[in-house]
Chain A
């Protein structure tokens, strides 16, 4: 489970950076180049995936 959470976190952070720099604009307002709300969303999801990793690790160790 830890590895799944880690991979998920990395994917979320990569997507967040891509939205921020304007590499991707999936389902985002084409009027803007940098999609800040999408960036924030994926950063938050990435952080939550890291928290999940922490919980999963503790349970496995216990």
Chain B
């Protein structure tokens, strides 16, 4: 992988990690389309991806820094008190903990087998199209409930523990290359009556510990046979972080007034195009 390819991949990772279009799917499909010789099982490439994830997680923490400080404070306070109160930050902090448990367990057990089973471009393209259908279905049912039947949206802190586990489980679908972590969790958030703004905020907050923990757990790869080029990794991590920061800033504004459908159309068209090319043997 050349320096320019690595930097383009870093920007792609930073953007697609937060846009509901699947970063894993794009890091399979885009290099395949551009005929880059990227071996996804190569220790050097895996070590480079670790740095990109760290950059993305740091960007998310910086963007939501005030919120994270308040949430961690509330969490520590509730543990010290030994009971749960009605405090909003405390409630959201524990909802995030509860929502992270399913994806933590499933991620540790299923990530490697799923990656080995569905790591081809054809599968990524198919799942990208399924990702589009998930977003269309989410928007369809949200409109039916809220615009046709005037059901009211609920605030984030009013979610139940079971609903939080449900959103966390939906996030686990992103283990499949082509299914977006943020897309699945935003749709699940809409399904439990959150509005787009709260569903997206909860999705990005929920993604932070998952991306950060996954990156930290993989950090030993940087020293054990990773052979990652330090300058390439450093610049790549910073670029991924900047791309992620700009993306989350854009998306939080975007979801104040807009919905998931444009991303759905993009995933459907791009997925169909890639599937066609994969079936013709142009990409593998």
Contacts and interface: CB of A to CB of B under 8 A. Distances in A.
A36 B104 contact: no
Contact of B82 (A40, A44, A54): A54
A55 B82 contact: yes
B83 A59 contact: yes
Interface residues of B, number: 15
Contact of B217 (A27, A29, A40, A48): A40
Interface string B90-133: 00000001000100110011001000000000000000000000
Nearest to B104: A41
B112 A54 contact: no
B249 interface: no
Contacts of B220: 36
B132 to A, nearest CB: 31
Nearest to B111: A37
B84 interface: yes
A22 interface: no
B217 A57 contact: no
A55 B108 contact: no
Contacts of B81: 58
A54 B79 contact: yes
Contacts of A37: 108, 217
Given A36-B220, A48-B97, A41 B79 contact: no
Nearest to A56: B82
Contact of B108 (A41, A58, A59, A62): A41
B54 to A, nearest CB: 16
Nearest to B75: A51
Most buried by A among B82, B109, B213, B220: B82
Interface string B210-252: 0001000100100000000000000000000000000000000
Interface of A: 27, 29, 36-38, 40-41, 44-45, 48, 51, 54-55, 57-59, 62
Given A54-B79, A55-B82, 17 more contacts: A27-B109, A29-B112, A36-B217, A37-B108, A38-B108, A40-B213, A41-B105, A41-B108, A44-B104, A45-B101, A45-B105, A48-B97, A48-B101, A58-B81, A58-B83, A59-B83, A62-B83
